[in-house]
Amino acid sequence: MHNQENAMMNTGQATQHGRYNLDAGRSRLLWSRHQIIMMLRRFVREDRPVSVHYDDEDKVIVTRALGVDPDRDRVYFQYGDHKANNTQLLRCPEVRFSFEDGSAKSQFSSPRIRDVLFEGRPVFQIPIPDRIVQADRRLHQRVKVPEVSAPVVVVNLPDGRKAEGRLSDMSAGGIGVIGLAADLKIRPGTVIRNCLILLDGNERVVVDLEIRHARVAMGLEGRLMHHVGFSLASRPKEFSELLKAFTVEF
């Protein structure tokens, strides 16, 4: 079975794992239980963010792995920040976990998730995944947005403030934003709701974004600023239309 799956991946045929279609030509399967356990344990040590996608991919909780118990076939993840979101996640028949590891973006699905106590606190628990799909990080063509026509992006910060930057590039999987203040505390893995991409004529695109990476660079005006890469936690049709417009125009 494993050899058959591996052959499908190498020939570039489309295949499906759980409910999630993947580009087989750019993906590879990790099915060694030992390697999967080692990867998850490394994530526990490094306290890496892991995104949990649920409710038909419309919602995301950012969590971190807390422990791995091979004897009981269990992986433990910390609760999200909002109780209502945790409750919704627990009701879903299947969820998808995604995370970045080096040059690859990896994901796996779990058909059941439970709330249990781990070291005296409530946490999420899932079985150890039997496979993880690893794909090249850049799966989507990136479109550069010319500075003269770059829309303003308004980011809602966790402390309630708003920050503005300029759209620098975009793809079907995310956007790049430049010009955010250098003193902002930007933590990869944070999901930011209801961000705005402001267009001409008072039009706007509302998106949920997840911070993937950030760096501070010197701008043309001689001031330090953040350049932040976001992945999409939601993909409204207006975003797809905007991407198409920039792709055609530029």
**pLDDT tens digit sequence for 130-171:** 999 887 655 566 788 887 778 999 998 877 888 999 998 888
pLDDT of residue 24: 41
Cα–Cα distance between 215 and 141 in angstroms, integer? 21
Q: At 103, is the secondary structure helix, strand, or coil?
A: coil
User: Which residue is associated with the tokens 């501070």?
Assistant: 216
Q: Residues of 5-40 as b/e, b for ≥16 C-beta within 10 angstroms?
A: eeeebeeeeebebbeeebebeebebbeeeeebbebb
Reading the block at residue 151, the tokens are: 């829309």
pLDDT tens-digit profile of 23-58? 444 567 888 999 999 999 999 999 888 888 887 656
Q: What is the CATH code for 143-249? A: 2.40.10.220
pLDDT of residue 103: 63
Which CATH superfamily does the domain covering 2-136 fall into? Electron Transport, Fmn-binding Protein; Chain A (2.30.110.10)
Cα–Cα distance between 28 and 10 in angstroms, integer? 8
pLDDT higher than threshold 70 for residue 1: no
pLDDT of residue 39: 92
Cα–Cα distance between 76 and 41 in angstroms, integer? 11
Cα–Cα distance between 132 and 250 in angstroms, integer? 37
Question: Where along the chain do the CATH 2.40.10.220 domains lie?
Answer: 143-249
Cα–Cα distance between 207 and 194 in angstroms, integer? 5
pLDDT tens-digit profile of 118-127? 999 999 999 9
Cα–Cα distance between 126 and 74 in angstroms, integer? 6
